């Protein structure tokens, strides 16, 4: 994947694989205390000041990977203590699914506005005149920003006609469209959970891998191992090609059954029903004089509406997402079943935390690590069929525009104006227009990730690759 930050991603996957392996062998609590030592010895490269810091970071990574927040564990708890807590929990995901690990944050120290060599001590001194805090003086023939006065408003940057003052932003803040990353007095970054929409764009953005998402790997693997209740895999439409071109959809099915899932469903099946329900809802709302409906599939899109455009919340479709719909069907047929959604999305974890019918969420990356831990090579499993039941329109939900296509098909003759907001930047533009009443649309398909779900942060391959394979699968 193009945005894969190879080193930190590699370490993360190594940890996930080790956790799955130790859990499957029933040795998690017995072996995990030694794991940071083993891994630090194994890794040839060092990223931190010393191996003690390296191990401290790994300890926090393991805690988060076991699905535990700092408040879930007592002070001075060992990894073995944490493992026992993790194993005793139900696999339910957390509402705020991301954690900025303070110990891993490198505290990127730079100031936001910098005077560059382009500054020639011009005649006008727009910067000095514009600065509301009198923070700019001329020192050594160029503008100088007094950091004790600067409030980082950015007026100097905008006022300089010669572009001599530039803005530099920390990678995490740069990646965060809803501006949910703040820093404390010591420059340590923190996620403001009130503003975070869970899109996970900050995860690959940090050069030190300081942001991690809670996983249910330990809980799911232990449910698969116990086999007391049926464990049902609900696989998102974007699965196509995620495990490599040698891994066919039916081989993925076999692999999931091999690691202990009792049933495998394509969520594409529920997606089709969601399109029908959403189409009916749009028609009904329009007849009631409510011209605009917003899609409900993408949890980050829904969260953006709720947190930043509360006046539009009423427009969000009440139709459950395909994940929720499929899980409800499974639970209705067998209330004892454990439902595990497997998809490309980190934000689905937050969505699932509020849904009684979804027990756990794994990303493709996480389930891939479970396969590796269990020694399963999907490429060597045979099969030419599909993963499960599904149809062209439902499977098309995986990419941006697929939902609109399915809704339009469900509407038949009825003509509506639709609008696709592809990626969080477009989502913000679209919702701003809608708020002002300037959007000419009856239905907005909002997708936080560019390209839709196949561009999600839990995917394993570049979305351009997935797109071609998906088109082929949809037509099959």
Residues contributing to the site for other proteins (CB under 8 A): 1-2, 4, 6, 9-10, 13, 17, 243-247, 255, 365, 368-369, 371-372, 375-380, 460-462, 465
What is the nearest approach in angstroms of other proteins to the Cβ of residue 243?
6
Residues 6+ away with beta carbon under 8 Å from 400: 420, 422, 445, 447, 450, 451, 452, 455
What is the nearest approach in angstroms of other proteins to the Cβ of residue 144?
41
Kindly tell me which of 164 and 376 has the beta carbon lying closer to other proteins: 376
Q: Are 223 and 20 in contact (CB under 8 A)?
A: no
Kindly tell me which of 1 and 188 has the beta carbon lying closer to other proteins: 1
Kindly tell me which of 100 and 256 has the beta carbon lying closer to other proteins: 256
Kindly tell me which of 341 and 364 has the beta carbon lying closer to other proteins: 364
What is the nearest approach in angstroms of other proteins to the Cβ of residue 456?
16
Kindly state the greatest CA–CA separation across the chain: 79
Distance in Å from the first CA to the final CA of the chain: 25
Cβ count within 10 A of residue 221 = 26
What is the nearest approach in angstroms of other proteins to the Cβ of residue 378?
5
What is the nearest approach in angstroms of other proteins to the Cβ of residue 372?
5
Backbone phi, psi, residue 376, to 5°? -100, 125
Kindly tell me which of 15 and 136 has the beta carbon lying closer to other proteins: 15
Backbone phi, psi, residue 145, to 5°? -95, 120
What is the nearest approach in angstroms of other proteins to the Cβ of residue 237?
20
What is the nearest approach in angstroms of other proteins to the Cβ of residue 300?
25
Return the closest-CA partner of residue 91 out of 262, 326, 342: 342
Task: Please state, in angstroms and rounded to a whole number, the distance separating the CA atoms of residues 33 and 54.
Answer: 14
Kindly tell me which of 20 and 83 has the beta carbon lying closer to other proteins: 20
What is the nearest approach in angstroms of other proteins to the Cβ of residue 213?
17
Cβ count within 10 A of residue 454 = 29
Backbone phi, psi, residue 170, to 5°? -65, 145
Task: Please state, in angstroms and rounded to a whole number, the distance separating the CA atoms of residues 146 and 156.
Answer: 12
What is the nearest approach in angstroms of other proteins to the Cβ of residue 461?
5
Backbone phi, psi, residue 6, to 5°? -60, -45
* Angle at the Cα of 474 from the Cα atoms of 472 and 476, rounded to 5 degrees: 70
Task: Please state, in angstroms and rounded to a whole number, the distance separating the CA atoms of residues 85 and 82.
Answer: 5
Q: Three-state DSSP class for 319?
A: coil
What is the nearest approach in angstroms of other proteins to the Cβ of residue 10?
7
What is the nearest approach in angstroms of other proteins to the Cβ of residue 251?
10
Kindly tell me which of 239 and 371 has the beta carbon lying closer to other proteins: 371
Please give, one letter per residue, the 3-state secondary structure of 75-89.
CCCCHHHHHHHHHHC
Name the helix (H) or strand (E) containing 445: strand 443-447
Side-chain-facing half-sphere of 468: CA atoms under 13 Å: 6
Backbone phi, psi, residue 426, to 5°? -65, -35
Task: Please state, in angstroms and rounded to a whole number, the distance separating the CA atoms of residues 218 and 474.
Answer: 33
Task: Please state, in angstroms and rounded to a whole number, the distance separating the CA atoms of residues 475 and 82.
Answer: 47
Kindly tell me which of 212 and 373 has the beta carbon lying closer to other proteins: 373
Kindly tell me which of 357 and 365 has the beta carbon lying closer to other proteins: 365
Q: Are 453 and 397 in contact (CB under 8 A)?
A: yes
Kindly tell me which of 113 and 364 has the beta carbon lying closer to other proteins: 364
Angle between helices 217-226 and 364-373 (to 10 degrees): 50
Q: Are 376 and 255 in contact (CB under 8 A)?
A: yes
What is the nearest approach in angstroms of other proteins to the Cβ of residue 244?
4
Q: Three-state DSSP class for 128?
A: helix
Kindly tell me which of 187 and 380 has the beta carbon lying closer to other proteins: 380
Strand partners, 399: none
């Amino acid at each position: 994947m193009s945005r894969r930050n190879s080193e930190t991603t590699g370490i993360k996957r190594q940890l996930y694989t080790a956790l799955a392996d130790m859990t499957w062998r029933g040795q998690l609590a017995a072996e995990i205390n030694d794991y940071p030592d083993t891994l630090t010895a194994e890794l040839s490269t060092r990223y931190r000041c010393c191996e003690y810091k390296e191990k401290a970071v790994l300890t926090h990574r393991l805690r988060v990977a076991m699905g535990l927040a700092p408040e879930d564990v007592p002070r001075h708890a060992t990894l073995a203590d944490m493992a026992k807590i993790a194993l005793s929990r139900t696999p339910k995901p957390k509402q705020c699914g991301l954690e900025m690990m303070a110990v891993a944050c490198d505290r990127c120290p730079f100031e936001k506005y910098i005077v560059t060599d382009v500054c020639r001590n011009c005649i006008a001194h727009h910067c000095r005149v514009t600065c509301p805090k009198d923070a700019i003086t001329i020192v050594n023939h160029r503008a100088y920003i007094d950091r004790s006065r600067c409030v980082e408003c950015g007026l100097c940057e905008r006022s300089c006609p010669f572009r001599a003052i530039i803005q530099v932003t920390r990678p995490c803040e740069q990646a965060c469209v809803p501006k949910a990353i703040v820093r404390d007095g010591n420059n340590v970054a923190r996620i403001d959970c009130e503003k975070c929409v869970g899109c996970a764009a900050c995860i690959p953005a940090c050069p030190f891998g300081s942001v991690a998402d809670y996983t249910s790997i330990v809980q799911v693997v232990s449910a698969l191992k116990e086999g007391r209740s049926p464990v049902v895999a609900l696989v998102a439409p974007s699965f196509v090609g995620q495990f490599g071109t040698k891994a066919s959809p039916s081989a993925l099915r076999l692999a999931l059954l091999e690691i202990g899932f009792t049933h495998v469903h394509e969520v594409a099946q529920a997606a089709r029903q969601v399109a029908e329900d959403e189409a009916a809802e749009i028609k009904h709302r329009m007849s009631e004089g409510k011209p605009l409906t917003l899609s409900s599939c993408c949890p980050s899109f829904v969260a953006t509406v709720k947190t930043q455009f509360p006046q539009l919340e009423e427009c969000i479709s009440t139709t459950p997402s395909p994940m929720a719909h499929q899980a409800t069907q499974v639970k209705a047929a067998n209330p004892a079943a454990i439902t595990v959604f497997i998809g490309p999305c980190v934000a689905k974890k937050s969505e699932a935390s509020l849904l009684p019918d979804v027990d756990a969420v794994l990303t493709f990356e996480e389930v891939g690590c479970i396969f590796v831990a269990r020694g399963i090579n999907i490429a060597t499993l045979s099969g030419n069929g599909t993963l499960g039941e599904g149809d062209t329109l439902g499977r098309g939900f995986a990419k941006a525009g697929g939902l609109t296509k399915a809704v339009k098909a469900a509407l038949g003759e009825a003509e509506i104006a639709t609008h696709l907001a592809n990626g969080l930047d477009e989502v913000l533009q679209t919702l701003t227009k809608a708020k002002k009443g300037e959007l000419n649309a009856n239905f907005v398909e909002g997708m936080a990730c560019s390209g839709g779900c196949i561009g999600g942060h839990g995917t394993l391959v570049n979305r351009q690759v997935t797109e071609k394979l998906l088109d082929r699968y949809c037509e099959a």
